[in-house]
Each structure stands twice: as structure tokens, then as C-alpha cells.
Amino acid sequence: MAELKYDIIQTIAVLSESPKGWTKELNLISWNGRDPKYDLRDWAPDKMKMGKGVTLTKEELLKLKDSLEEIK
């Protein structure tokens, strides 16, 4: 994988933590200096490694929000 430069602008939520300390987080992240995007992924303790995840535009995040209305 190519080297990625990223800057975590805001941590919106920590959804869970595994026994080994990995956390699943929703962050607002700027990748390679570009405009920040929402990002949902697993992180190792102290952000030493990142797991697989998805980035979301604000529009996608708002659609996701709407779709979660039905989940109780």
C-alpha cells in the first residue's frame, strides 16, 4: 500500500474496543492534505496501524443517518 498521510480532524465516535485494544471509530479525516471525509474503520492502540474501512462523503453519511432511523 502506498504511504498515506492523514490528519484526524475530529473523532466523532468510538463505537467499540476489542480485547487487544483496537477501536472502531468514526472520524473526520483529511487524507494527503485533501478536504476531510468521514471515515469508519478499526485502529490499533495509539493509531499505530489502521484496519480496513470506508470513507464517506457528508451526503453519504446523511443518507446513512436516515437509513438508521429504522434500526431500534
Q: Does 70 bind its own copies (CB under 8 A)?
A: yes
63 touches 55 (CB < 8 A): no
Give the number of residues in contact with its own copies, rule: CB under 8 A: 28
Binding mask 20-39 for its own copies (x = CB under 8 A): ----x-x-------------
Rounded Cα distance, 68 and 71, in Å? 5
Instruction: Count how many residues are written for the chain.
Output: 72
What residues make contact with its own copies under the rule CB under 8 A?
12-13, 15-16, 24, 26, 40-42, 51-54, 56-68, 70-71
